Amino acid sequence: MSLEPAEPGSGQVGRSGGLDREAGGPLHAQIRDILHRQIVDLALSPGSSLPTEEELQRQFGVSRSVVRQALSGLADLGLIRRQRGRGSVVAATPVLRRHVQRAGGLDEQAAAHGQRLRTHVLTVEPSEPPRAGIEALNTNNTWKIERVRYLDDLPVAFMRTWVPRDFFPHFTAELLENASLLSLMRDHGYHPAGGPRQVQAVSSDPDLARKLNINTREPLLLLQGVTRDALGHGLEWFNVWHSPNTVFDVDAQVTSQPGRVSQEHLRRLRNLTQQLESELADLERGAR
């Protein structure tokens, strides 16, 4: 299979492969990004072969070590598998599916699809949340918790969460590693009930790109919200950035036309009223 070079970008461009040899950054990173875009744009099926190292050397006019660095970068992203005797083939990228109307339970949702999530804690530190977080939690005495969720060793979500320190004074990175935050809250006597959420499309900045092992400015889905218990206590205020291989399932319901709903509702109320009046009349007659 042959992958055509990408269109040259701005600036001084080299003679082959669309590489910017003056201001485009490391050549292996440029080749990795070109192949990444073309794998996605061409929608190559899992198992499709990439050009050999020799073919890529000729295509881009670089050394074998540069080509190998580029392929290693694609392998780290989970886009290809390097197989002995077959070269590099397109990998089957796992897809994380979650229900946007469900609060928490991400591990259970993944397990329902035969998948396993693991969690790596980056930081747990005292930190005041933004104003929206203070209003949601009714306190500025909070832990800031940063975690990365992995699916089949592929980072699929970066979570930044604030929780009240007064409720959970003993939270540590060791306690949260590969643990369910909501389960730990229940263990501390606070039972999450849910809360409002919103989803929006954003682009990754350099920091998010490093954490999720993706390209800068790649599209992400940002889930923001607050989780409260049944008494209304704010237990967490969070931002979760999901990698592009995330699918949000929504159970949408079709409503009837407003006029029809109103008439049907009135009809049922009239029938109910007639039944009640009939039963009341029977009771009155029996009481005489």
Evaluate if residue 108 carries a pLDDT over 50.
yes
* Residue where a domain stops, chosen among 49, 72, 93: 93
Q: Establish if 57 belongs to a structural domain.
A: yes
Same domain, 89 and 171: no
- The contacts of residue 181 (CB under 8 Å, 6+ apart) are 104, 145, 161, 163, 236
Q: Say yes or no: 42 and 68 in one domain.
A: yes
DSSP secondary structure string, 96-123? EEEETTS-S-HHHHHHHTT--EEEEEEE
CATH code: domain of residue 162: 3.40.1410.10
**Mean pLDDT to the nearest integer, 263-275:** 74
Residue 46: pLDDT above 90?
A: no
Which residue from 225, 237, 256 is spatially nearest to 101, judged by alpha carbons? 225
Provide the 3-class DSSP secondary structure of residue 45.
coil
Based on the domain organization, do 101 and 68 belong to the same domain? Answer: no
Secondary structure of 205-240 in the HEC alphabet?
A: CHHHHHHHCCCCCCEEEEEEEEEEECCCCEEEEEEE
- Structure token pair of residue 264: 């049907």
- Residue 270 belongs to a domain: no
Are 242 and 144 within one domain? yes
Q: What is the mean pLDDT of the chain?
A: 82
Please give the tally of structural domains in the chain.
2
Structural domain of 39: 1-93
Q: Does residue 69 sit in the same domain as residue 146? A: no
β pairing state of 96-99 and 246-249: parallel
Assess whether pLDDT exceeds 90 at residue 114: no
**In a domain? residue 195:** yes
Confidence (pLDDT) at 15: 39
Q: Residue 84 maps to which CATH number?
A: 1.10.10.10
Residue 160: name the closest of 177, 140, 145, 150 by CA.
Answer: 145
Nearest Cα to Cα of residue 135 among 158, 153, 162, 117: 162
- Tell whether 185 and 239 lie within a shared domain: yes
Domain co-membership, 109 together with 198 = yes
For residues 246 and 157, the answer to whether their CB atoms sit within 8 Å is yes
40-241-210-160 Cα dihedral, nearest 10 degrees: -170
256 lies in a domain? no
Q: Are residues 58 and 19 in the same domain?
A: yes
Radius of gyration of the chain (CA): 27
Instruction: Summarize pLDDT for 143-181 with one digit per residue, the tens.
Output: 999 999 998 778 889 999 999 999 999 999 999 998 889
Residue 170 shares a structural domain with residue 219? yes
> Rounded distance, CA 142 to CA 121, Å?
17
217-264 pLDDT tens trace:
888 999 999 999 989 999 999 999 998 778 777 776 666 555 555 666
Residue 288 lies in a domain: no
- Mean pLDDT lowest for which of 44-58, 79-93, 95-109, 197-211? 95-109
Whether 67 is covered by a domain: the verdict is yes
Same-domain status, 189 and 117: yes
Supply the pLDDT for residue 262: 62
Question: Is 277's pLDDT higher than 60?
Answer: yes
**Minimal CA–CA distance to 1: which of 35, 31, 37?**
35
**Collapsed DSSP state (helix, strand, coil) of residue 21:** coil
